[in-house]
Amino acid sequence: MQPLLTPPAPLAPADFQGEALLLAPEWTLVDEVAQAGLAVLIRRGVFEAVGPVEALRQQYPDLAVQPLPRRLLMPGLIDTHHHLTQSYGKALAFGEPSEIFKRIWVPLEQHLTEEDLYLSAKLAALESLRGGFTTVCDAGTRSSAGLAAIEAAVQEAGIRCVLARICHDLGATEAQVRETEAQAEQHLARYAAGSRLHASLGIAIPEVASDAMLHRVSHLCREAGVAFQVHINEHLASIERSLVARGLRPLEVLHQAQALGPELLAAHVTMATPSELMRLRDAGAAVSYNPVASSWKGNAVAPAQLMRQLGIRLGLGTDGTRGDAFRLVDAAETAQRLTQGMDVGDFSVGAGWTWLHMASAGGADAAHLSRVTGRIAPGLAADCLLLDMDVPELCPSWDTGWELVRLASSRMIEMVMVGGELRLWQGWPVDWDARALMQRVRERARAAVEAAPIVRIHPTSGEARAAGRG
């Protein structure tokens, strides 16, 4: 019998805590390519230097090099479309027809207490971190108490968050419109430079705002250089409703209001005409491609490959479906393969790197955070993951970029860091009690869901089996 090979020496949380860290992983993911022999210096929350191990060892003789054998250091991934306050209902939407916001999300969010909103957002932030996301874009809570609750939750969980304030004016009085505009301006000035919170404004769908409000909010975002988050052309029902109410499709409503520009972070865009795609490109707008949301509740899949070829900026989003970045990039590739590649014999479909890029640097660009995160590069925030590559799934390895899309899983994540701070070690927070949070969620969630006037169409698995349904 062969002697057992010993695994690499175990690492400990203390290896990733300190004033300055000079890490030497076996591989570093730089622009979607795994490079061997690099070291990364992390100091004061940012990547200070990235270069050959020997060069950095000589440049920083006072720092000990921390070798990380069989590990990959990669950028933390970006979820460009989330609803952090919807966690209680995440498993209520399965099998439901498309417009679940009317029957589940609006009733639920309007019946959550401030504590529920906080618990829900913190649980979502934890799931996102465990799944490899270090940044989430929240599209805006419908609850008035939601913003403060999300702020507290994401600060404590330690995830980076682009947080939208909702600015609707359908049916509002003139005084209410002025108040909404004032609150929008205040929100944009709310977070200090260097904060892990980043301001944004949002309008859930174009029909709930006047042309004047759409124009005002988009220009406020443009001037501030932040994301304007809107759900666009997601479902057939929403397109039809917009046509009936305004005579225009949702994207055309934005165009008419002169609210279509580089600030736009358009969620979904699953049903776009050729002229709408050209408008998005010409405006320099970004799209959040949400393949799991399409699969679970959609009418269609966004033509992300075509959008990318046209030059439309793209990130990936979960829409709150599940906070797992590796399953999201896998779904992103698979959905394009099934809807765009298969019929035309395109076996590459962007290869692995396209979807990794969308989940990292592309997502950062879509979220207006290119100068903050998305890559392992000097000057950017130290938002990163350490993956254990010593696993059967990646043995033998030929093309790490593609393997991360098809074979990797969140189980491989040993360490999650945001802004140079260790947040998770082997899937669990290092400085707060996740199990206590989960216990409180279990205590609260059932009562909150039962109190809300939620209408579900689809039975649970148990109900369906009992009724003999397929």
Residue 365 makes contact with Zn ion by CB under 5 A: no
**CA-angle at 364, arms to 219 and 133, nearest 5°:** 125
**Closest CB to Zn ion: residue number:** 319
Question: Among residues 73 and 269, whose Cβ is nearest to Zn ion?
Answer: 269
Residue 333 makes contact with Zn ion by CB under 5 A: no
The residues facing 313 across adjacent strands are: 286
Which span (148-156, 251-259, 280-288, 317-325) binds Zn ion, by CB under 5 A?
Answer: 317-325
Which span (203-211, 253-261, 314-322, 438-446) binds Zn ion, by CB under 5 A?
Answer: 314-322
Residue 388 makes contact with Zn ion by CB under 5 A: no
Q: How far is the CB of 242 from Zn ion (least distance, A)?
A: 16
Q: Per the omega criterion (within 30 degrees of 0), is the bond before 396 cis? A: yes
Q: What is the DSSP track for 300-324?
A: ----HHHHHHHT-EEEE--TTS---
Residue 414 makes contact with Zn ion by CB under 5 A: no
Residue 234 makes contact with Zn ion by CB under 5 A: no
Which span (37-45, 102-110, 312-320, 414-422) binds Zn ion, by CB under 5 A?
Answer: 312-320
The answer to whether residues 454 and 464 touch, using CB atoms and an 8 Å cutoff, is: no
Residue 54 and residue 60: Cα distance in Å, rounded? 10
Residue 169 makes contact with Zn ion by CB under 5 A: no
Q: How far is the CB of 226 from Zn ion (least distance, A)?
A: 18
Question: Among residues 263 and 319, whose Cβ is nearest to Zn ion?
Answer: 319
Residues 376-387, buried b or exposed e (16+ Cβ, 10 A)?
beeebbbbbbbb
Question: Among residues 319 and 388, whose Cβ is nearest to Zn ion?
Answer: 319
Neighbours of 65 (CB within 10 A): 16
Residue 319 makes contact with Zn ion by CB under 5 A: yes
Q: Within a 13 Å sphere around the CA of 279, how many CA atoms are in the beta-carbon half? A: 19
Residues 6 or more apart whose CB falls under 8 angstroms from that of 309 comprise none
The residues facing 165 across adjacent strands are: 201
Q: How far is the CB of 167 from Zn ion (least distance, A)?
A: 16
Q: How far is the CB of 168 from Zn ion (least distance, A)?
A: 15
Question: Among residues 319 and 365, whose Cβ is nearest to Zn ion?
Answer: 319
Question: Among residues 168 and 423, whose Cβ is nearest to Zn ion?
Answer: 168
Q: Name which of 79, 56, 75 is nearest 66 in CA terms.
A: 56
Q: How far is the CB of 451 from Zn ion (least distance, A)?
A: 23
Which span (60-68, 174-182, 318-326, 433-441) binds Zn ion, by CB under 5 A?
Answer: 318-326
Question: Among residues 20 and 208, whose Cβ is nearest to Zn ion?
Answer: 208
**Locus of tokens 């993956």:** 387
Residue 48 makes contact with Zn ion by CB under 5 A: no
Residue 113 and residue 143: Cα distance in Å, rounded? 9
Residue 79 makes contact with Zn ion by CB under 5 A: no
Question: Among residues 141 and 354, whose Cβ is nearest to Zn ion?
Answer: 141
Q: Name which of 28, 72, 67 is nearest 49 in CA terms.
A: 28
Question: Among residues 296 and 353, whose Cβ is nearest to Zn ion?
Answer: 296
* Binding site residues, Zn ion, CB under 5 A: 319
